Amino acid sequence: MMQKPDLGYLFEPRSIAIVGASENPGKVGYKVLSNIITDGYKGKVYPVNPKGGEILGVPCYKRLEDIPGEVDVASIVIPANIVYDAVMSCAAKGVKFLEIITSGFSEIGNVEEERKIVGLARQNGMRILGPNIFGMYSAGASLNATFGPKNIRAGNIAIITQSGALGVAMMGKTAVENMGLSTIISVGNKTDIDEADLLEYLVKRDDTKIIMMYIEGVREGERFIEVLNRTTRIKPIVVIKSGRSTRGAAAAASHTGSLAGSDDIFDAVMKQCRVLRAETVEDALAWCKFLAESPMPKGENTLIVTNGGGIGVMATDACEKFGVKLYDDMPALKAAFSPVMPYFGSTKNPIDLTGQASAANYNTAFGAALKMESVHAVISLYCETAVLDAGEFVPILEGRYKQYHVAGKPLVFCLFGGRSAEEVVKALRDRGIPVFTDPYEAVSCMGALFTYSRNRALEPEVPEKVELDVGRINELIAKARADGRRHLFPAEGRVLMEVAGLPIPKSTIGRDLGECVKAAEDIGYPVVMKVVSRDILHKSDVGGVVLDLENQKEVIEAYEAILYNCRTRKPNAVIEGMEIAEMVRPGVELIVGARRDPSFGPVVMAGLGGIYVEVMKDVSFRALPLGKRELTSMLKNTRSYPLLLGARGEERKDIESVLSAILKVGEIISSCPGISDVEVNPLRVYPDGIKAVDVRVMLSKGEGDAHE
């Protein structure tokens, strides 16, 4: 296989061929060529069409091979069944990148043809964007090689989208919202180039300040995680993934052929990678616009300046929702604001200038907040009134916005009202100033900025390492496979726990009374006694179990009682002995598990266990590898975490052992491809340790397994 060409050739090609260029304005082959020409591409343009001649004034080549110079990118817009032949021509010509707009491949089940094409491309050192895309726009080359709208505005936001339809609509949307793009690129079936490839390129580009992604499904999740982690240290990423709901996930799968992973896991992994996830496209675009322009805050003290108490309270609610911290030093606020406050106003945060506030009052308040070193960000709200002249408002807001920018203080405006408020909004947006009509939207942007700023400040972590005797585990797996099983027996599960170093309740089998007494003494009272017999399935039903034996005398009595019960009720059963087990103390019950996620590989889970698992669904996920901080934050993300801290005056539980248990079950999945799922439930947690009471282990689907 040849070396892969640099993505710079895709984003700033010196020449582009349009294979399937057309003179029919209804055709994609016309639209793409026309966009390339209209939007001012600076390189060479080579339309290719067997008819030859000229299209839109540009000479058209009958065959790709006829093009005189080098071709960096070939945009392919011909029917699916002749794409392979075109790719052969591209290989012969030495094309570097194929932008296969054509659809009709894996997304409709035509997997084989797509595989053939990508194989051919790889053999010839070519890379593929697509297939099933609308193309790509790159500001660096003024290249609009899409069939979307023309006149894309250049700027510093990059968009990567898996949905073509949404992508085209976003091109239009960003244009009317005055948002400048460094690129918008459609990845479609991601047969070769995927989000990770593009992120690696875009993170290095100075013209890109923020990256937005619309994702339907993830492939090669482990690499994706690694690239996301590197990128978000440098630039913010905003992601939208539809398919949050069970039903939505099903719709996404039928739509793109990607296997949508569990949304809980996706969500957790994005947080772990410091990616900002938006629910709607409107939120995502608003965040991008705001984060692309706003300075990073130097601290978290945020001030609300308003002329209406009601809207101030709403913004306060929104601050709690979006994690924006309000500044509360009342004497400092009073000192700074009482000289500039109108009658009835409030110098508490929210600073209420009252409905009588003039543009000058706002201006003075902005000035006071700008001067306060202890104030790091300002959210300004305005409810339309008759007293304020909107015309005066625009230059004040514009001027203050610039000053705040220079001072490194984020500032966001929200204007609510009728015609005059709308005019101010429009005037400010035209000047590229972040302004919203809904306090929640304004605050959500500020919240996204703080979340990113907080996350970026975290030091990179070294993943925790765990030693594991993989050989012994593989023996367990081999034995189960030999039995034709896809799971481990409980006793094998206990061995697995021992190998991984998770404490389990002590247990021994005594074959006679003497051994039982000795076992009980060794384990320590209280103990449980259970009959061991292949012939007795339901031990409790025949009186084969006695709990809470506190001394030797009770062990002897229990032994006799069980023997008597079994002989009476199951006279033919062969009794092999008695299991003597530690009576497990009550403790906080957690669930700790790990599995191989189809999108992201090994992931771990922890949360409230026991009978509450299914009901409370209070669990948290992370992808491996994990550092200590992320591991701790995973536990802290569960609502039940305070139980471990010792709720209601109880002792703090052994959280360190829980963290270590999570890493150990995670390591089992990472190191043993034969195991797909490990679930410890309950993991009892005490002030002085943990106990893995029950464990379920599923094996991976092997070569010899029946199709399920």
Q: Which stretch binds a copy of itself (CB under 8 A): 8-16, 174-182, 291-299, 461-469?
A: 174-182
Determine, following the binding rule CB under 8 A, whether residue 539 of this chain makes contact with a copy of itself: no
Return the residue of 182, 256, 599, 671 that touches a copy of itself, per CB under 8 A: 256
**CB of 104 or CB of 299, closer to a copy of itself:** 104
Q: Which stretch binds a copy of itself (CB under 8 A): 44-52, 74-82, 382-390, 393-401?
A: 382-390
| Smallest distance, a copy of itself to C-beta of residue 102, A | 13
| Smallest distance, a copy of itself to C-beta of residue 184, A | 12
Binding mask 585-604 for a copy of itself (x = CB under 8 A): --------------------
| Residue with the two structure tokens 């300004």 | 380
| Residue with the two structure tokens 């990472």 | 670
The footprint of a copy of itself on residues 196-215 (CB under 8 A) is: 214
Residue pair 188/212 in contact (Cβ under 8 Å)? The answer is no
Paired tokens of 489: 């027996």
The footprint of a copy of itself on residues 94-123 (CB under 8 A) is: 103-104, 108
| Smallest distance, a copy of itself to C-beta of residue 573, A | 25
**CB of 418 or CB of 484, closer to a copy of itself:** 418
Beta strands 377-383 and 411-416, pairing class: parallel
Residue pair 275/238 in contact (Cβ under 8 Å)? The answer is yes
* Residues in contact with 378: Cβ distance below 8 Å, sequence separation at least 6, in sequence order: 302, 303, 304, 305, 366, 369, 404, 409, 410, 411, 412
Cis amide bond preceding 50, omega within 30: no
Return the residue of 42, 116, 639, 701 that touches a copy of itself, per CB under 8 A: 639
| Smallest distance, a copy of itself to C-beta of residue 589, A | 11
Beta strands 527-532 and 545-549, pairing class: antiparallel
| Smallest distance, a copy of itself to C-beta of residue 606, A | 15
Residue pair 142/153 in contact (Cβ under 8 Å)? The answer is no
Rounded-to-10 torsion of CA 344, 345, 349, 351: 160
Q: Which stretch binds a copy of itself (CB under 8 A): 451-459, 517-525, 615-623, 691-699?
A: 615-623
Which is nearest to 374 in space by CA: 335, 340, 321, 345? 335
Burial class (CB in 10 A: 0-12, 13-18, 19+), 36: buried
Q: How many CB atoms lie within 10 A of CB 124?
A: 17
Return the residue of 49, 75, 144, 162 that touches a copy of itself, per CB under 8 A: 162
Q: Which stretch binds a copy of itself (CB under 8 A): 58-66, 116-124, 183-191, 236-244?
A: 236-244
Q: Which stretch binds a copy of itself (CB under 8 A): 144-152, 511-519, 598-606, 688-696?
A: 144-152
Return the residue of 647, 651, 688, 702 that touches a copy of itself, per CB under 8 A: 647
**CB of 134 or CB of 600, closer to a copy of itself:** 134
Please tell me the distance from the alpha carbon of residue 304 to that of residue 324, in angstroms, as a whole number.
Answer: 11
- Number of residues near a copy of itself (by CB under 8 A): 87
Give the CA distances from residue 76 to residues 67, 87, 88, in Å, rounded to whole numbers and listed in that order.
Answer: 15, 9, 12
| Smallest distance, a copy of itself to C-beta of residue 298, A | 23
The footprint of a copy of itself on residues 543-582 (CB under 8 A) is: none
Determine, following the binding rule CB under 8 A, whether residue 130 of this chain makes contact with a copy of itself: no
The footprint of a copy of itself on residues 291-350 (CB under 8 A) is: 307-314, 316-317, 319-321, 326, 344, 346, 348, 350
The footprint of a copy of itself on residues 429-488 (CB under 8 A) is: 437-440
The footprint of a copy of itself on residues 391-420 (CB under 8 A) is: 416-420
Please tell me the distance from the alpha carbon of residue 698 to that of residue 652, in angstroms, as a whole number.
Answer: 33
Which is nearest to 165 in space by CA: 242, 276, 79? 242
Determine, following the binding rule CB under 8 A, whether residue 149 of this chain makes contact with a copy of itself: yes
**CB of 36 or CB of 319, closer to a copy of itself:** 319
Angle at 7 between CA 4 and CA 11, to 5 degrees: 150
* Residues in contact with 638: Cβ distance below 8 Å, sequence separation at least 6, in sequence order: 606, 607, 608, 618, 619, 620
Return the residue of 171, 372, 542, 558 that touches a copy of itself, per CB under 8 A: 171
Return the residue of 6, 282, 576, 656 that touches a copy of itself, per CB under 8 A: 282
Please tell me the distance from the alpha carbon of residue 140 to that of residue 158, in angstroms, as a whole number.
Answer: 12
Residue pair 216/256 in contact (Cβ under 8 Å)? The answer is yes
The footprint of a copy of itself on residues 21-40 (CB under 8 A) is: 31
Return the residue of 56, 111, 175, 407 that touches a copy of itself, per CB under 8 A: 175
